Amino acid sequence: MSCGARPLKKSEVRRKGSRALGRLAAVFDASKNWQNRTAIPVWLHPEQAEKARVDLGALRETVLFGLPPLGVAIAFVEDRAVAQVRVHFDPGGGNWSYVGRDAQTFSMLEPTMNLANVDQRTVLHEFCHMLGMLHEQSHPDRPFEFNEEVVIDEMRAAYGWDEGKTRVNILDKSPQADATAFDEDSIMLYAIPERWTVGDYEVRPDELGSALSSGDVAQLQRWYPGGRADGNDPGAKADDRGGEREQLPMHPREKPVPPDAVLWYVSVGVLGALTLGLLVTSVFARRRAV
Ligand SMILES: [Zn+2]
């Protein structure tokens, strides 16, 4: 049931001024949002998907139809080198995602999201993290208090989480959040057993939905306005969506590619040239991605 929204180290966090806040449900970290009217290139690890028996076609449908029309598009790409979000499918790796543009901080060799489960709720929850959303339980005005010691002990026993990870993912309130009304229907809310709270507040697992709440939708559309009803996929055929397909430019890569990615290019290039005796182009090298 638990997913880790991975925060950056404090030294890595880039802060921006907060924008005017509206009255909306859901919690959003405004400092990490993607540039609107662009397409976010997302790569799904094909070999890991095959090994984990993940149906990538179904997964893409879940994302594209599960998210509301937004001003940003999700562009599934086959070339890891151009991706800015890289999804792995390590069954033992848990479900987690970096939040928003934090994904740009990592080299192309590293995952920015892992899906150990590909049920609709998990997939949409992690993609909402990727778009900048935080856990609803981190809401500054949540209507309950955690029994912190119980939560920390249980997460340590169940998932091996240390206290810090439990605080970041469950207990801490988010001071950066753009949020007003607490939204019990948010897809970003964990199940909360009664024993975790002071008093009798609880959110039972069977109360959790597998779709975005109206508050989730309103929040995402506020941050990414201008979406069209014909979907989020710039590569979708017009007749799939009943309208003209829209082409959005790829999201700019705002950070330089980290050094190990450069080394990866060089090593793959040299190995390829030695093996084949051919000049290996960088495009060819990219397609040899492990
Ligand atoms: Zn999460």
Q: Is residue 150 part of a domain?
A: yes
Distance (angstroms) between ligand 1 centre and the Cα of 98 equals 9
Dihedral angle computed from the Cα positions of residues 195, 197, 201 and 203, in that order, rounded to the nearest 10 degrees:
-70
Residues 113, 41, single domain; the answer is yes
pLDDT at 169: 85
Q: Are residues 226 and 283 in the same domain?
A: no
For residues 131 and 206, state if they share a domain: yes
Q: How confident is the model at residue 290 (pLDDT cuts 50, 70, 90)?
A: very low
- pLDDT tens digits for range 92-119: 999 999 999 999 988 889 999 999 999 9
The pLDDT assigned to 38 comes to 94
4 Cα to the center of ligand 1, angstroms = 5
**Does one domain contain both 195 and 161?**
yes
Instruction: Encode pLDDT of 58-78 as tens digits.
Output: 999 999 999 999 999 999 999
Domain shared by 133 and 203, yes or no: yes
Centre of ligand 1 to C-alpha 166, Å, is 12
The answer to whether residues 137 and 171 belong to one domain is yes
Provide the CATH number for the domain around residue 150. Answer: 3.40.390.10
Beta-carbon neighbours within 5 Å of ion ligand 1: 3, 5
Number of domains the chain is built from: 2
CA of 190 to the centre of ligand 1 (A): 8
Better pLDDT: 155 or 253: 155
What's the domain range around 270? Answer: 258-290
> What's the whole-number mean pLDDT along residues 1-28?
42
Which pLDDT band, with edges at 50, 70 and 90, does 236 fall under?
Answer: very low
Please check whether residues 98 and 220 belong to one and the same domain. Answer: yes
**Separation of CA 81 from chain center:** 18
- State whether 197 and 127 are in the same domain: yes
CA-CA distance, 18 to 26, in Å (whole number)? 16
Report if residue 246 sits inside a domain: no
State the amino acid at position 198 in one-letter form.
Answer: V
Predicted pLDDT at 175: 72
127 with 85: CB under 8 angstroms?
Answer: no
